Structure 1
Amino acid sequence: MNSFTFSPVGVVRCANRYKYEAARQGVFTPGNQAEIELFPGHDYETALSDLDGFERIWVLFVFDRNTDWKPKVSPPITGGRKRYGVFATRSPHRPNPIGLSCVKLEKVDGLKLAVSGHDFLDGTPVLDLKPYIPAADAFPEAKAGWRDEADAAELKVEFTENALKKMAYVEKLCGLDLQNFCSVQLSHAPTSPERKRIEALADGRYGIGCRTWQVIYQVNDDGVQVTDVRSHYAAEELTPGAEDPYADKDHHREFRKEFGDGD
């Protein structure tokens, strides 16, 4: 069998930098904004002709942060409790690390495409673009195997006024959308000990880490209630002159000055 070599036609630019910040699927994060930059010198401007008439497009891309594949994987929505054949999932751990996302096309400007509702990471290589055609691509009544059961177990994620206020402050400080992060990460298996970024706290509360921040929440019969946000740095780590490997400690100092040290 022949082998094939493909070269990217462009790259994604967005705020999501780490794997855990990517949505399970772009459709779950309609507010996620990104820009796809196609490379110059290939007449891609002509290739983009007429695409702006489509509301949605398919983006084929590379899962470039993964170095191996697994025949069975545990999708995030299972909380590490169940494993499925990789070809029955959208996992990035594939023999050929190719991703496929249907995103909303907001604007075409030269070699740049503004899109929303994506699940990319910043720097993701793009292999191809195709128009989404509802008559050919949509099968809403189709069975979805194990996903039907998993979707039925989805939890509602709500936020207190205190949490929303602090999340808005963090987003203004550093562009990190913690509300979107929680909506994606906490809707399934929010207490699973298999998830490394989740920590059981006192009084039945939990914390989930996002970069150098921690979001506090509780789980009840109605779903998940996010109650607080706090810096994940210890006070001594924020003293003047302390090492700052992520170049974000000034943001945490401002946050603590505004809201205090938390509990």
Structure 2
Amino acid sequence: MTRPKHKSRPAAEALTLTPIAYTRSCFKDKFGVPRQPGLTRHAHAELVIAPPFDREDAFRGLETASHLWLTFQFHEAVRAEWRPVVRPPRLGGNKKIGVFASRSPFRPNSLGLSVVRNDGLERKNGRLVLRIRDHDLIDGTPILDIKPYLPFADALPDASMGWADTPPVDRVDVGFTPEAETALATLSPTDYPDLQGLIEDVVSYDPRPSFRRGRDEDRIYGAHLYDLNVRFRFITAGGMVRVEVVSIC
């Protein structure tokens, strides 16, 4: 018997993706965002579920998952043309590697993938909201898919990545000026959960571009966390680098 021939289908030239949620994040812009999820345990966000996906039935059973996979768009890194090589900050910003060997946000389809902690679903002002933590998403990030993290399948202790096998260890000591400490004491922990820990995590990993490190010691940088401008500077003394939070306003 002659087997029927299967007709080949041309690959789709473009896909239309509909966001299922948008992010309300403690990170208001790209500067200061951790370069990977989980580098701060103090980053909170809400995923505001968009219609028609805002039905509790679509999330039934998700409460049993401690962590989630999020597929999202790097919406502030979309470019008209893609480049085959990138310069990862982990390699000092000078060495080039292939974009598909990296986790750079500058990708052909501008898609990202992160593991985050699941803090539960709730109705808030009539909107269905999924609360998350330990994330690396800036405000307004479109969420394209949500899946539960499966420890038996997704955790691979023998996996390796060569140039990025271990967590970054070059954290610097963090101090606060009296002005910054006073500002921290006046802020509501309900409105700004885990704020001191969040600030310490963000600045201790040195969010400056690689080419700025070791320069501009008097320069004051600012990171927008929630609706606050956290201003800080790096100080070198005795060959050691530390960071001082100057003000929080």
TM-score (norm 1): 0.72
Structure with the bigger RCO (C-alpha within 8 Å, sep 6+) is: 2
2:66 pairs with one of 38, 42, 55 = 55
Q: 1:12 to 1:43 in 2, by over 3 A?
A: closer
Partner residue, 1:5: 16
**1:107: which partner in 2?**
120
Which position in structure 1 is the counterpart of 2:160?
143
Deviations 1:48-89 (A, max 9, x none): 010011100101111111222332222233342322211111
CA contact (8 A) 2:217 2:235 kept: no
Counterparts of residues 125-164 of structure 1 (less than 5 Å): 125-148=142-165, 151=167, 154-160=169-175, 162=177
Residues 179/209 of structure 1: CA separation in 2 closer, same or farther (3 Å cut) = farther
1:31 alignment partner, one of 34, 42, 53 = 42
How many pairs align? Answer: 225
SS state at 1:226 partner: strand
| Cα distance, 1:84–1:140 mapped onto 2, change above 3 Å | same
TM-score, normalization by structure 2: 0.75
CA RMSD of aligned residues (A): 3.4
Residue identity over aligned pairs, in percent, reads: 31
Give distance in 1, aligned partners of 2:98 and 2:240.
29
Question: Per the alignment, in what secondary structure is the counterpart of residue 136 of structure 1?
Answer: helix
Match of 2:4 in 1: none
SS of match in other structure, 2:38: helix
Task: Return 5+ residue gaps in structure 1 as ranges.
Answer: 232-250, 252-263
Q: Distance between the aligned counterparts of 2:245 and 2:48, measured in 1? A: 37
Of 92, 117, 120, 2:137 maps to 120
179, 198, 205: which one aligns with 1:180: 198
Contact 2:171 2:206 in 1 (8 A): no
Q: Which runs of 5+ in 2 are unaligned?
A: 1-10
The 1:170/1:183 distance shift into structure 2, 3 A limit, reads farther
Give the conservation status (yes or no) of the 8 Å contact 1:21–1:181: no
Stretch of structure 1 that moved more, 139-148 or 209-218: 209-218
- Give the letter aligned to residue 105 of structure 1: N
Contact 2:74–2:112 (Cα < 8 Å) also in 1: yes
More helix by proportion, 1 or 2? Answer: 1
